[in-house]
Amino acid sequence: MKHLAAEAKQSGPPVGRGLNSGRSLKLGGMATSVIAACVFLAAPVRGQEQHDHGAMDHSTMDHSTMDHSTMDHSTMDHGTMSGDEHAAHRAMMAAPSYQVTETQYVVPDVVLKDEHGRSVRLQQLLSGDRPVAVNFIFTSCTTICPVMTATMLQLQRELGDEDVKPLFVSISIDPDFDTVATLGDYARRFGADWTFLTGNQADVLEVLQSFSAWRGSKNNHAAITLFRAADGAETWTRIEGLASAKTLAQIWKNSVT
């Protein structure tokens, strides 16, 4: 902004020269010179009649008379306009939907930390003989993450009588904030007794990218649940969206067991 202001000052009208030229007049002509200088300053320079929308007071504008049909709303970031970083998540919660796909993933060989501070080799944890259910959360999230955690808790109960039960794992997408202690507090708050994982930024990012779960920012993250059968195969069932615990349980029974 300062750079633009400096350019505007340099390219503006020669105010200094206009005022200096008035000083060569006799005292009796000073009034005429001052009036001429005022008119010169107030008059717009041809070709530079631009509106400064940043300085306009939109609160006094009558938006009811604006033709919104000609506005391109598809390019507008309404989440940013409203100041709500979680606008997309709130819309997702208002109209929940989900999509189920079969996808192959290769689990990266990284070492993370669980909520007790123990080192966990992710590839060994997720590629073993036991089936797994994985989701991605962060503890400071106030929209879809608490819903996803509560859904996972309910899914445990839905599958309580099944012969084949998954190993439940939640991976934080915000390792800078979600320390071991923070994850432990979060698990206790929800009464969740499964594995919560965090780690250094590079390792967590590799995990998220390996599972196509990174959206460029934690506030843009999607609601993703992953199921893998017990045979250690690389094929996973991916549920993207806010599916209910009963729906997830049915998908588990149909696609995994």
Higher-pLDDT residue of 102 and 78 is: 102
CATH number at residue 159: 3.40.30.10
Residue 256: strand, helix, or coil: coil
| Mean pLDDT across 38-46 | 39
100 and 212 part of one domain: yes
Examine residue 3 and state whether it is found in any structural domain, yes or no: yes
Beta carbons within 10 angstroms of residue 175's beta carbon: 22
Count up the domains in the chain and report the number. 2
CA separation for the pair 33, 201 (Å, rounded) = 68
Supply the mean pLDDT for the chain: 74
Supply the range of the domain harboring residue 154. 90-255
Residues with Cβ within 8 Å of 39's Cβ and at least 6 positions away in sequence, in order, are none
Give me 200's structure tokens. 């250094």
**Mean pLDDT across the stretch 141-152?**
94
Q: Are 197 and 107 in contact (CB under 8 A)?
A: no
- 165 in the same domain as 123: yes
* Position 71 in a domain: no
* 195 and 112 assigned to the same domain: yes
Domain co-membership, 113 together with 171: yes
* Rounded (10°) CA dihedral 157, 160, 166, 167: 70
> Which residue from 109, 129, 121, 102 is spatially nearest to 232, judged by alpha carbons?
129
pLDDT reported for residue 234: 77
Confidence of residue 232 (pLDDT cuts 50, 70, 90): low
Residue 192's CB: how many other CB atoms inside 10 A?
Answer: 19
Count of CB atoms within 10 A of residue 14's CB? 10
Q: Please indicate, yes or no, if residue 120 is contained in any of the structural domains.
A: yes
Instruction: Please indicate whether residue 43 or residue 83 has the higher confidence score (pLDDT).
Output: 83
238 located within any domain: yes
Please write down the HEC assignment for all residues of 162-185.
CCCCCEEEEEECCCCCCCHHHHHH
**What's the whole-number mean pLDDT along residues 207-219?**
92
Question: How confident is the model at residue 257, as a pLDDT?
Answer: 67
pLDDT band at 96 (very low <50, low <70, confident <90, very high): low
Please indicate, yes or no, if residue 77 is contained in any of the structural domains. Answer: no
* 8-state DSSP, 166: P
Going by pLDDT thresholds of 50, 70 and 90, the confidence category of residue 82 is very low
3-state secondary structure (DSSP) of residue 11: helix
Residue written as token pair 């992710």: 122
